[in-house]
Structures are given as C-alpha cells and as structure tokens.
Structure 1
Amino acid sequence: MGWKKMSFSIIFLLTVLISGCSAAEDVSTEKEENQNDKIVIGVAHANYEDTFLNLLLDGVKEYVDEHSNEMKAEYIDAENDSNKQIEQAEKFIEQGVDAIMLIPVDVIAAELILEKAERADIPIVLMNRSSLETESVFIGSDDVSFGFMQMERVAQILKGKGNIAIINGPMGQESQVNRTKGNKQVIEKHKGMKVVSEGTANWNQDEAKSLMKTWIESDIKIDAVVANNDEMAIGAIEAAEEAGIRDEIIFAGIDGTPDGLQYIESKKLAVSVLQDAKEQGQTGMSTAFRMAKGETVAKEPIYIPAELIVKDNVAKYK
C-alpha cells in the first residue's frame, strides 16, 4: 500500500473512532441528564427491624419501581433513634430532595422535621404516625377504630364478660394511645369486662413474651390478652404455650402481618385487624410524588380502612 493510501486509511479510522467516542459520550451525557431530571423522594424510615413498617416499605419500593422513569427514592433508617432521624432528615433537606416521606420515630422527631422542611420549602408526607401540633399530610390508620374493632370481637367471643390484659406499644406513641383508647371504649360498654393487667412491650415480640410470663407468674386470672399489634400478641401466645395455658386465653392483635395470619389460621390468634401496609406505602409515595411535582394536597389525614381478620376469612388475606 502506498504512503498516501495508508495515511488516508489511518485518518479515516481515527475519524470513525473519535466520532464513535463522541456518540458514546452523548449517550452517556443524555442518560445522566435523564437521571438528573428525575424527581427525588427522600424516604426517612423509623426502624428497619419493625415487621409492619418494612411491609409498608415494600409498598413504597413497588410504587417507585413502577414509576422509575420519572422518579427515584433514597432510603435511610433511623434505627428507632429520634435524634438520628432528625440528623438524617436535615441531610435530605441540605441535599435538596424534591419531597420527603417520613415514618417518624416519635412525635418530637415529626415536629422538628416538619418545621425544618417547611422552612426549606420541601413538601413532606407523614406515614403511619402523625404529628401532634403541626398541620401536615398524613397517610395511615384511624387507630381508635382499629382498637375498637379488635375489642368488639373479643367482647363477642367472651359474651361481654371477662378479665382483659392489654399489651401496649411504646407509651405515648399515637398508635398506642389510640388503639388502647378504642379498646377501652368497648370495655366501658360491657359491665362484665374489666382490665386487670396493662403493660408495654414496645411493639416487640420478646418483650411481650417476658411481660406475659410476669402476668402468668402473678396468678392473675386473664381471659383475653389484647395487644396493640400482632408481634406482641404472638409473644404473649408463646409464653402461654410454654406455661400450658394457651387454650384458656383469647389472644388478639392488630396489623394482619404474615405471621399474624399464620397464627389465626392455626387458631392460636383469635383476631387481628388489617392495617394494609402495602396500600399505606403506595398511597404515601404517590402523595409525596404529587406534592414534589407541585400539586396541592390537603393537609388532612388519609385513612386506609380497617378490616377484621378471623379464622373464617383469613384465607382472603394470605
């Protein structure tokens, strides 16, 4: 090959390579721009170890996956630490996310984060646990009705007579206060029913088992154990099984978790009330997405309806 022809070939190959690299860079730049154009939602989770809240998170992630061409989410876990959650939310605010979906550790965290987000003009959606003072968009459950529905079923089983032990979630937390309030509204209607024991197990199965053991050792006559959630009801059931008295007591929970449904199916748990975790998560994320796009959303509670779960209808929820 002559020198002129060789030079032409080299120049042609270099041109092709350069244009190819340029095209690749253009595609890469376009992808980055598309990523940057997506709406970013910061998801501030209270505690990844909480069974129900992780089911809620599954609903959030499913919604994000379905809308991944328009949005993305960043996830943080406060590990049930209020101060940590406040710091994490501040980082979201500094980062300039388009909206925050918050599952508060407690009302203190909720109030402070709402205040900081409002100053930064970042919309925020509270999930499962609301604030006490600041007006906000809230997605969750009407916990009084959950507790009322749960205890109504227990009253039916006991025919309006019996000694009740109540296992609370963390004392002062909104769900604990209102579920127990609903329980006691029913008890007040039945002169033959009374609360003989009450304690907290902080939503935790092991703590509930320990509490139930203490009650069993005290020889208090208990006809029904009514827990603020399924996990604590299961812990109480385990203690009663070990003591050989499970069949002597009615057990009730709230949430309709997979474990709770299994215990209902096996007739160990008499009743639960479905708190639809997936629906809460999806509704919460869709609301945060709308607010991030500038849509107006009323600052009022959006309640996901409760559903009673017993042995006769448990198959519907599995």
Structure 2
Amino acid sequence: MKKRILSILLVLTLVLAAFAGCGNSDSKTDDKEGKTYKVAYIARAQSDSFAAWLANEMKAAAKEYDDIQLEVFDGQADDEKENAAIENAIANGFDAIIVQPNNGEAQRPYVEQIVDAGIIAITTNARIDNIKGASSVDADPYVQAKVNAEAAIEQVPQNGKVVVLKGPSGNFHADERLKAWKEVFFAARPDVKIVGEDFANWNKDEAMKLMEDWVTSQGKIDAIISMNDNMAAGALEVVKDNSKYANILSYGVDGTAEACLLIEEGKMTSTSLQSAIDLAKLNLETVHKLLTGEETQIDTDIDAPLITKENASEYVKIYKERGLITE
C-alpha cells in the first residue's frame, strides 16, 4: 500500500496498559459535583483488531463524562479468562459492567450474575439476547452482511467460484452474517460454487493459512466472502502479488482502516461499517443514562452503511483525523 496504516501492534500497545487490569490512567475521581461511577469494560481480545479499536474508542468516549471512571480488561479470546474478568468486576464493586462477549452463550450465565448482583449490565458487539435486566448496544449483523450480499449478486461472475471465511462458531455476529449471505446471495445465485469454507475466527493469520490451501487446491477463485474485514485482508494478502487474482472480488464487515484503504486502492470490493467510534459513544451514552436513572432498559443498534470505491475516501479521511492512518 502506498499509504501506511498505523501499526495495529502500536495501537494495541496503547490498549494494553488498560488491559493489564489496572485503572485507566485517564480515570476521574470524585469531585464536589457528585458521585463518580465505576464502569468496567470487558473486551473480547486485544489481539483482535476491531476489538482493540473499540477498546480505544471506549476510553476516548469515557473522557466526555466527568462522572464516569472506565477500566478496561482483556478477555484474551478465552471464555474462562473473560468469565473470570466478569466475576472479578462483580467482586470489585463496579457500578456497571459492559461485556463484549467472546462466545455469547459462554458468557450468558456470568452476565446474569451481574444482573443478580444488582449491577448494571450491558452486552455489546455482540449482544446476548434474552437476559432479563440486561441492556445491549450493538449493530445488526444480518444487515451488515445483507448490504454486501445484495451488491455481490450483480458483481460475482456467472458460475463463479467463491471461498467463505467464517467467524467463531456460535458467535451471534458470525452466525447472522453467514445467514444473510446464504439467504440473500446464495439463494439468488445458485450458479455460484463454494470451493472453500471454514472458520478463521476473525483472525487474519488463520484466514491466510486457509487461503493458501485454497489457492493451491482450487486454482481459480473469483470472490472472497468474509464475515469480517480482518479475515478478508488476510486472504487478500496471500494473492496480492499473483496476477491471476488481480480481479478477485472481496467482501467484509467492520469498515476498518485497513479495509477502507484496500477498497480505495481497488484491492477490495466492499465492506459495511461497524463503527467502533459510534459503538463506543452509544455504549457510554447508554451506560450513563442507566447509571443516572434516566432509563432502566436500553436495547439499541448503530447503522451499517456500505463502503465501496465511491465513498471509501470519506472514511479514510476520518481515520486519518483519528491517527489510525498516516501517510
């Protein structure tokens, strides 16, 4: 790429200090105006580029509230570690706990413990449905995939060969995005053949390994259908210098800085925005309303606009302003 994305590792380093389990260095203390609310954010995994972005944006959004002290903890993409972090947050007397599940059903009983302890509970990215007393802030994963799938109907060539990169099994977002692709795209295009399909668990390295195998075993591949941008970028990395794949189509979800640059440069076809900026702002707005008693239950979603070659530069500009892309 001519433009350089600010190293994800450097971005993650900024998150690690908070993830260590210590208080946010920007946290606020009680003042004369009233109570300061302690809020724990249990992130899925600092190794996940979107999760790391969301954690950074949560910290930034918290700075807008003088009465909120936010602490961030890392679930390390491990159910046992994430569940232990939730239990510790309950024991440490937080006023609210926001959980980004690694596996919704594995975290469900622990979020129920939050509610039972009389602590405000919010699940986000992805929500865990049907927990009485818990609120949620999320995006609609079906819609996120649907906008890409609708575009792909006209873009994928007749009798095209495609590969499908799936998110973690049982993950609400992964399952709903795949469902949308099946119901919207594959139902409309029975001529298209899936020549490779597997779980890459949101992970770029896993996606690269799968794509390497598929390129070797299948030869021609017309499109990459991915449940997130990170996996799509990994698959594209494998074929970037292979002229045989110069016109390969690729679809993702999240609207990450990397994906927007790839789209702007014509190397990726489209993605839909799952804005960590908007998610973080809405989470903090929601938790503040719940803490102050303005609302008692909130379930809300952000929008999922489609990002293509025509509008990718608008999002690249936003990322440059936030320091996530440098020249």
Q: TM-score, normalised by structure 1?
A: 0.84
> Which residue in the other structure is 2:173 paired with?
175
> Which residue in the other structure is 1:130 paired with?
127
CA distance in 2, matches of 1:195, 1:39: 50
Residues 201-280 of structure 1 mapped to structure 2, 5 A cutoff: 201-219=200-218, 221-280=220-279
CA distance in 1, matches of 2:241, 2:281: 39
Percent of residue pairs bearing the same amino acid type: 27
Over 3 Å counting, the alpha-carbon distance change for 1:32 and 1:133 in structure 2 is closer
Contact 1:41 1:98 in 2 (8 A): yes
CA distance in 1, matches of 2:236, 2:218: 16
Partner deviation per Cα, 1:197-221 (whole Å, 9 max, x = no partner): 2111111111111101111111254
- Equivalent residue of 2:240, what SS? helix
Quick check: 1:110 aligned with 2:91?
no
- From 148, 151, 154, give the equivalent of 1:150: 148
Unaligned stretches of 5+ residues in structure 1 = 1-30
Q: TM-score, normalised by structure 2?
A: 0.82
> Which residue in the other structure is 1:80 paired with?
77
- Equivalent residue of 1:72, what SS? strand
> Which residue in the other structure is 2:60 paired with?
62
Over 3 Å counting, the alpha-carbon distance change for 1:117 and 1:159 in structure 2 is same
CA distance in 1, matches of 2:194, 2:129: 27
Q: Shift of the alpha carbon at 1:243?
A: 4.2
> Which residue in the other structure is 1:311 paired with?
309
Contact 1:85 1:109 in 2 (8 A): no
CA distance in 2, matches of 1:316, 1:216: 33
- From 61, 74, 98, give the equivalent of 1:101: 98
CA distance in 1, matches of 2:161, 2:243: 19
CA distance in 1, matches of 2:192, 2:111: 41
Unaligned stretches of 5+ residues in structure 2 = 1-28, 317-327
Residues 12-51 of structure 1 mapped to structure 2, 5 A cutoff: 37-51=35-49
> Which residue in the other structure is 1:285 paired with?
284
Contact 1:170 1:203 in 2 (8 A): yes
Partner deviation per Cα, 1:223-282 (whole Å, 9 max, x = no partner): 111111111111111112254432142111111100111111111101111111110011
- Equivalent residue of 2:70, what SS? strand
> Which residue in the other structure is 2:16 paired with?
none
Contact 2:157 2:222 in 1 (8 A): no
Q: Shift of the alpha carbon at 1:297?
A: 3.7
Match of 2:160, as an amino acid? G
CA distance in 2, matches of 1:141, 1:161: 32
Partner deviation per Cα, 1:26-76 (whole Å, 9 max, x = no partner): xxxxx7665993111111111112111222223211221111x21211111
CA distance in 2, matches of 1:32, 1:317: 37
Over 3 Å counting, the alpha-carbon distance change for 1:32 and 1:229 in structure 2 is closer
> Which residue in the other structure is 1:22 paired with?
none
Partner deviation per Cα, 1:285-308 (whole Å, 9 max, x = no partner): 2211221223334353x1111111
CA distance in 2, matches of 1:294, 1:236: 47
Contact 1:47 1:53 in 2 (8 A): yes
Match of 1:166, as an amino acid? V
| Bigger radius of gyration | 1
State the superposition RMSD in angstroms.
Answer: 2.0
Contact 1:110 1:130 in 2 (8 A): no
- From 171, 183, 186, give the equivalent of 1:185: 183
- Equivalent residue of 2:268, what SS? coil
What is the count of residue pairs matched by the alignment? 286
> Which residue in the other structure is 1:8 paired with?
none
Match of 1:71, as an amino acid? I
Match of 2:306, as an amino acid? L
Larger mean CA deviation between 35-44 and 232-241 belongs to 35-44
CA distance in 2, matches of 1:285, 1:122: 16
